[in-house]
Structure 1
Amino acid sequence: MNAFAGTPAYYRRFRPGIPVALATLLDQTAPTGSPRRLLDIGSGPGLVVHALRQYFDDLVAVDAEPGMLTEAEAMLRPTLDAAQRLQLRHALAEDFLPPEAWQPHLVTCGRVFHRLNQPRFLDRLSEYLAPDGVVAVFSDRSLWTAGTPWQQTAREVVQDFLGEQRKAGDGPFSTPGPPYEEVLRASSFSHVTSAVVPVRRQWTISQVLGYLYSTSFAAPHLFGDHRDAFESAVTNALTPLADSGVLTEDNAFTVLTARRPNAHEGR
């Protein structure tokens, strides 16, 4: 079963997306062009494209899960003006090729980068990224790895129901590979810069449950007949930790932007 089976509607509704500061950073990092082109890999329901849409004329969102693309269509299409063009493509990142002569100026890749054959993806990307184009790899801490007391408590409830080992759908979560910066420096995009973008979020308990159901480690189908019991357990565990019903999270996005060395020298 797909690791994100049953999650797309929750993903669209409960994932917080990227902050304005990160969208601004990506806009300022990418080269200009006319038309200016964005490619988002592992787009999910289109949260990154939604945050960046004002900066680009052509937008392509790629995902391997058809349900995610259905949600992306519903989220993105009504927000675009008549001059913008949106394409939704069902493909693996490592296999994707854009339309002939279509060269993106910015390629964004969030947490999905962990799941990719990274060298193969970057090799394929080198075939079509604009000569001065930028690839951006970024992620914040998920609930599984974040450290505030309420997040630790929510994770412990998930483990009580599903076991100590982190899941990715019906299988185990794969262990991390080499650091992303090392992988990028070994590719054609060896000029790498890094930044950290902090973000503060506030959650209700129902939003936390929705977020959990958007993840591969707590997808709804994993709980089977125990889903109601799980929701009650989360609610009971988090209620004492909420301040007037609100749970606060301080997080940060780690952002790596990479380009070809010769493109950097020409800027």
Structure 2
Amino acid sequence: MTSYDPALFLGTAWYYARYRLPYPAEVFALLIRTFALDGRGCLLDLGAGTGEVAVPLSTHVEQVVAVEPDAEMIVEGEARARSAGAGNIRWEHAAAEEFSGRPAAFRITTVGTALHWMDKPRVLTRVHELLEPGGGVAVFSGGSLWTGRAAWQSAAVRVIQRYLGEARRAGRGEFPQSTGSYAELLMNHGFVGPQTHFVVQPIEWSIDQILGYLYSTSFASRRLFGARVGSFEDELRHRLLNLDATGTFTEEQILEVVVAWKPS
């Protein structure tokens, strides 16, 4: 996408802050170790959401600039930061493509499962300019319920499709198809030494948690169902309980973290 669609996550922020799974501690340990974070320097977090990356890493840098285009997400992110006592985060209401910062001002840039929404060449060119020499970038990616292979995930997607259509929704359009690896993309934009890490996260869901997660997404936000939301919830519960009467569902989510550096 070349410009941010304000309908993309409209009405999802409350659910996003409460039902999106936190990144595993292993991910942050990896970044702290890889980039030798020691409380100094400034972190730029693009597509910051409700602070899923910015808040946990705030204790390992001097300052965080969290850039997020959705105003409702920022409200939730600020609340998360206050609750955590993270007073060194500055929130910027802007799309990643539009953020203007001082060149070579940042020690590390993170993009947590958000680069697929962005104009990748434009954003990565800008990230390269904003990083100090030798600075690092970390890009996260992972699956979603829509692409999951478990029987309960497939059943949930079929229910969503009955109400919203076959295509995976994304704001006013459809979900953008990914092309190429992030490691290759980073190298093509001047970064060196890319490393790809995989973190496996076992997850156990209740039906209420599944619904909350769905309402945090662009493809099944609550507003998309309109007056049929009650029928959707009833049908989803019925389908899932037919699969497992306990109402508990499991998966192993694999998070990919690609790190690379701007040459010194």
Q: TM-score normalised to the size of structure 1?
A: 0.91
Cα distance in 2 for partners of 1:31, 1:157 equals 46
Instruction: Check conservation: 1:32, 1:105, Cα contact below 8 A.
Output: no
Query: Aligned-residue CA RMSD in angstroms?
Result: 1.7
Out of 48, 55, 58, the position equivalent to 1:50 is: 55
The answer for the alignment partner of 1:70 in structure 2 is 75
Count of residues paired in the alignment: 259
Alpha-carbon offset, residue 199 of structure 1? 0.5
Alpha-carbon offset, residue 34 of structure 1? 5.2
Q: List gaps (5 residues or longer) in structure 2.
A: 1-5
Distance change (3 Å), C-alpha of 1:148 and 1:28: same
Higher-strand-fraction structure: 2
Alignment partner of 1:135: what SS?
Answer: strand
Moved over 4 A (4+): none
Alpha-carbon offset, residue 243 of structure 1? 6.5
Alpha-carbon offset, residue 188 of structure 1? 1.7
Alignment partner of 2:256: what SS?
Answer: strand
Out of 26, 34, 37, the position equivalent to 1:29 is: 34
Greater CA drift, 17-26 or 30-39: 30-39
- Say whether 1:225 aligns with 2:224: no
Residue type of the alignment partner of 1:67: E
The answer for the alignment partner of 1:85 in structure 2 is 88
- Say whether 1:8 aligns with 2:13: yes
The answer for the alignment partner of 1:190 in structure 2 is 192
Alignment partner of 1:108: what SS?
Answer: strand
Alpha-carbon offset, residue 216 of structure 1? 0.3
The answer for the alignment partner of 2:164 in structure 1 is 162
- Say whether 1:111 aligns with 2:116: no
Instruction: Check conservation: 2:183, 2:194, Cα contact below 8 A.
Output: yes
CA deviations 1:104-143 (Å, max 9, x no partner) are 2221112210011111111111222121211101122111
| Percent of aligned pairs sharing the same letter | 37
Distance change (3 Å), C-alpha of 1:185 and 1:226: same
Distance change (3 Å), C-alpha of 1:34 and 1:214: closer
Out of 232, 242, 263, the position equivalent to 1:240 is: 242
Cα distance in 1 for partners of 2:239, 2:232 equals 10
